[in-house]
Amino acid sequence: GLGGSAIALVRFVDVKAVGDACRSAFADSGWREPAVFAVEPGPGAGPL
């Protein structure tokens, strides 16, 4: 697995709001603050 990770596909303009909502939900549950990373997909796989 991903070791407790989650992948959320969101529009770039929504990254901050989604990250803030996740951090708030974690804080409300008494959990430590999650790390949020915004990334862009790379090129797909191809023949070697």
In terms of C-beta density within 10 A (0-12 exposed, 13-18 middle, 19 or more buried), how is residue 22 classed?
middle
Domain boundaries, the chain: 1-39
CA gap 32, 44 in Å, rounded = 34
CA gap 36, 15 in Å, rounded = 9
What pLDDT, on a 0 to 100 scale, did the predictor assign at position 2?
A: 65
Residue pLDDT, tens place only, 11-31: 999 999 999 999 999 999 999
CA gap 45, 20 in Å, rounded = 33
Q: Which amino acid is at 18?
A: V
Asked whether the predicted pLDDT for residue 3 surpasses 80, the reply is: no
